[in-house]
Amino acid sequence: MKRKIYSPPRIATWRSRKLYHPNIKPLPKLKGWFKLLLILFLGGLLSLIITFWWVNKDLPTPEGITRRLVPQSTKIYDRTGKVILYDIHGEVRRTIVELSAIPESLKQATLVAEDRNFYQHKGFRFTSMIRSLIINLLKGGKVQGGSTITQQFIKNAIFTNEKLYSRKIKEIILAYQIEKKFTKDEILRLYFNEIPYGSNAYGAEAASQVFFGKSVSDLNLAESAILAAIPKAPTYYSPWGSNIEELIGRQHYILDEMVKEKYITETQAEEAKKYKLTFIPRRENIIAPHFVFFIKQQLADRYGEKIVEQGGLKVISTLDLEFQAIAEEAIKTSAEKNLSYNATNAALVALDVKTNQILAMVGSRDYFNDEIAGQVNIATRPRQPGSSFKPVVYAAAFAKGYLPETLLFDVVTTFKTNTKDYTPHNYDNKEHGIVSLRQSLAGSLNIPAVKLLYLTGLDKVLDLANQLGYTTLKDRSRFGLSLVLGGAEVKLLEHTNMYATLAREGKTATPISILKVEDSNGNILEENKEITYQSVIDQEVARQVIDILSDNQARSFIFGSTNYLTLTDRPVAAKTGTTNDYRDAWTLGFTPQIAAGVWVGNSDNKEMKRGADGSVVAAPIWHAFMEKVLQNKPIENFIKPQPKTIDKPMLGGQLYGEEVLIDKLTGKLATEFTPPSLIEKKRLKQYHTILHYLNKDDPIGSTPPDLNDPQYQNWELAVHNWAVANNLINEQPPSTYDDVHTAENKPTVYFLEPINNQTVTTNPFTLQVSASSKRGIKKVIYLMDKQIIGESTTYPFSYNFTVTDEWVNGYHSLTAQVYDDVYNNSSSTININLLINPLPSPYKINWLSPTANSIIKANDNLTIEFTINQPKLITKIDLFDKQEDGTTKWIGVIENPTQQQLSISWSPPLGYHSLIALLRDQTGITKTSTPLIFNAQ
């Protein structure tokens, strides 16, 4: 009998959880997310292995670490591509020294500056790299590096400065290999003989010889800290560059960190900070040095120091050699005169308005003059702009709704602030009373400018400044109401760019200095063919600012009509600026083609002599430059802004406050019964701050004034004190109403002859009314079809009217207007039917000027001219004006004319007008002319 072997049923899936052995438990099921993570992990691991293999296959061995590429010089050209401004020589300055020749102070300073954990890590630090990656991602670009000294050595010895993550991986692998192959001291030796210090100096020994004229072993602590500061950005921190203050600041930082690391004492650090550094002068064949090194810094930021020094780039710049020569000559010519004001330095920047290309850049009076810190490029250094910053504030104000016609009180005023009270004064220490914003900006008045900044809002001004490209105004906590007077630093290049933005009617862009860059093989790395502008100022607002800055008459009350802010036969907009302590003097201006800015002062920020303001020391340079560069260019005009009208006191240019309607006869408030011809609109002479009439946050809206505004009381007090000092008293409105022109005093009138709808068959015919009034009747004026045909001033106020051939038979309206002695009036109108033989008119009036239906200027002196055919028969000609509201006003009279052509002067108010002439002959018959209709605008 065969033994039966037990065979359990086949299990199709683990999901049944049924097992056929009591000691066997089911395997746990794999969840979907776990499978996915496993796949991703394995895939990532495989990718990492492949990536490391790929980047590692072409790496040099540590033994081949000293191989070098053949360096080629980079050349920077002018805008024609024909003249070399500067040849960045490819020949490398390098002297190999042992680590023992490197002083301990330089080693320690370098470790503190670049890699203080050098002796602890294995060639790279993941924590620093991750932190750098996160910061760079948050900042939107390469802001912070995370490289060790080993990585820096590799990057400079083997790789280019390309910003690729594959290069970073290669760098990490080779750093690890080098750390295994060499000792830390050997790596440090390689670093000190390889690292670039700028100006083709590679290694500490070459740098020490180039900058200090001594061997590296002879460096003291102060000099060592300087060399340690340079490798972070060799072009930017170059001792021959324009950022000496930043270099010294980084030196001080390194010395302080050496104290923290206990390398030196605080006393040693302070002594090193006080040590007077002496750098070897730089003498090279170079044109426009400040502009060249401005470009070199941009190239270093984009392509790296090594590529710029040895990569053989061909750089076509925007520099116009003719403009540059004119700029340098203008500064040189004014130098001796400016020295009498203790002004040793000057700078100039010129931009092409159409392309925003930098045409000229002079960063100092003499680049090679160490006594004036000539290497410092003032064009890119923050300096206080004085009143030349005011156009930014006025542009923001106009955008908010204020107008060039807006009035402010230029009277000494104390402003309440969160810290302490602030009382600005004008440059001439005078008060100018009520001034428009046009006068205020053109005359560079300080007090109204500070008021306008408050009315506009500091944040709105800084928002606009940010859009205009200013990079020095980011920390808003630093600024207050003095901002409008130049109480913050700006760069000449950025400031000139703001004026170029105005010239483009509000369109801005970053100034361009490079047209094209080619590599050593002729491949184009970058090319600026077109520029994209951003509109940051409304076109009309820009035109308003330009219109003021180009209005020489508006500024003449301060600067005189003859000044350096005008050009021969050419419109130009310009503004000066001077700091209160005479440390900085500016002039900036533009035509539609060129914008230029000039700064004058001292590089060390010493004060100039009193009187060295922008119009005296900077404007002559600006004027000489602009006259010369524009002499062969066509004249281009600015476009005028559209006029705007706002009916608000002060805001719209109305000098005084409340408007009231006055009865001219009584001087009391007009009523509904006051005759329109006697009503006078009058603005009361009331002297109040603009805050009394509007809400600063809604100047053109309907929001009521905020009389609790923190500045209101002080502004009102200043206006009150000024008014009292000038014997000006606030005029109050009348307290009573017109009590002469009342309903009870209105005359009554009705026709006696003819009667309503009567057919008139006689010629002439009689017009007579019955009229009465409490004050008596002064006169009755008769009209037919609304045209005056005659009047009567004696009882019974009848009038014989002769119908001439100018009237046709048929129905007409007759009106009698009755007046008492104070012009209370009533009227009565009837209809008549003429059925007569009209007589020929003995008098013909022919209107000569103005012509019928013409448009003339309102409130201008107008000469009315006409002819009459038989002047000797006329005793009197009265001219009347019938206005749009139906009122008739007497213009004037000509008595006993002796010639046919006659004239009379008159200033017509705004609106449509209908002129008529009422003639009276020797027999007492009156004749009304045909009307002359025209429009006054």
Q: What is the pLDDT of residue 172?
A: 75
Strand extents, DSSP E, 481-550 = 490-491, 507-508, 514-518, 524-527, 534-535
Cα dist from 658 to 137, 653, 668, 682, 687, whole Å: 60, 13, 15, 8, 10
What does the pLDDT read at residue 275? 95
**Range with lowest mean pLDDT among 9-18, 265-274, 846-855:** 9-18
pLDDT score recorded for residue 142: 47
CB 224 within 8 A of CB 106: yes
Q: Which helix (H) or strand (E) holds 462?
A: helix 458-467
Query: pLDDT tens digits for 25-77?
Result: 554 554 566 667 666 666 655 655 554 444 454 545 444 554 444 567 788 99
Question: Which tens digit of pLDDT belongs to each residue from 738-786?
Answer: 888 988 999 999 999 999 999 999 988 999 999 999 989 999 999 988 8
Question: Concatenated DSSP letters for 182-220?
Answer: S-HHHHHHHHHHH-B-STTEESHHHHHHHHHSS-GGG--
Say what the pLDDT of residue 339 is.
96
Residue 179: helix, strand or coil by DSSP? helix
> Which range has the worst mean pLDDT, 144-153, 407-416, 430-439?
144-153
Note the pLDDT tens digit of each residue in 97-152: 899 999 999 999 999 998 888 888 876 665 555 555 555 445 544 444 568 888 88
CA–CA distance, 704 with 691 (Å, rounded to integer): 10
**CA-CA distance, 43 to 473, in Å (whole number)?**
49
Percent of the chain past pLDDT 70, that is, above it, reads 86
- Residue 834: which H helix or E strand, with range? strand 825-834
Higher pLDDT: 825 or 501? It is: 501
Q: What is the pLDDT of residues 587-628, one digit of tens each?
A: 999 999 999 999 999 999 999 999 999 999 999 999 999 999
pLDDT tens, position by position, 865-878: 888 887 887 888 88
SS3 content of the chain, % helix, strand, coil (to 5): 35, 20, 45
Average pLDDT over residues 487-516: 97
User: Which among 97, 92, 51, 94 is positioned nearest to 73, based on CA atoms?
Assistant: 92
The pLDDT assigned to 122 comes to 75
Say which range, 214-228, 253-267, 777-791, has the weakest mean pLDDT.
777-791
In 61-108, DSSP assigns E strands to 74-77, 84-88, 93-94
Mean pLDDT value of segment 839-855: 81
What positions carry a catalytic annotation? 114, 387
What single letter denotes the amino acid at residue 681? Answer: K
pLDDT recorded at residue 38:
66
Judge whether residue 932 has pLDDT over 80: yes
Which residues, at least 6 apart from 744, have a Cβ–Cβ distance to it below 8 Å?
774
The bridge status of strand 314-317 relative to strand 514-518 is: antiparallel
**Residue reference for tokens 């994209």:** 532
- Of the segments 16-30, 61-75, 375-389, 412-426, which one has the largest average pLDDT value? 375-389
Q: Which tokens hold the place of 119?
A: 């002796």
Q: For residue 17, what pLDDT band results from cuts at 50, 70 and 90?
A: very low
* pLDDT tens readout for residues 771-780: 999 989 999 9
Q: What is the pLDDT of residue 923?
A: 63
Mean pLDDT of 909-927: 78
For 225, phi and psi rounded to 5 degrees?
Answer: -65, -35
Q: Which of 241, 216, 215 is nearest to 230 (CA)?
A: 241
| Mean pLDDT over the full length of the chain | 86
Residue written as tokens 């390194």?
254
Position 929 confidence tier, pLDDT thresholds 50, 70, 90: confident
The C-alpha atoms of residue 449 and residue 879 are separated, in whole angstroms, by 50
* Residue 671 predicted with pLDDT over 60: yes
| Mean local confidence (pLDDT), 3-24 | 39
Provide the whole-model pTM.
Answer: 0.69
**Residue with the larger pLDDT of the pair 356 and 42:** 356
Alpha-carbon gap, residue 550 to 568, rounded angstroms: 13
pLDDT range class, residue 802, cuts 50, 70, 90? confident
Pick the more confident residue, 640 or 647.
Answer: 640
**Residue 167 has what pLDDT?**
59
pLDDT grade, residue 16 (50/70/90)? Answer: very low
Q: What is the pLDDT of residue 21?
A: 45
The top-scoring range by mean pLDDT among 38-42, 350-354, 701-705, 791-795 is 350-354
Tens of pLDDT along 544-597?
999 999 999 999 888 888 899 999 989 999 999 999 899 999 999 999 999 999
* More confident site: 312 or 172: 312
Question: What is the average per-residue pLDDT within 819-846?
Answer: 86
What does the pLDDT read at residue 15?
Answer: 38
CA dihedral 199, 204, 205, 206 (to 10 degrees): -10
- Assign 512 to helix, strand or coil: strand
Please enumerate in sequence order all residues whose Cβ is within 8 A of that of 157, keeping only pairs 6 or more positions apart, or say none.
Answer: 65, 66, 68, 190, 194
Under 8 Å between Cβ of 349 and 492:
yes
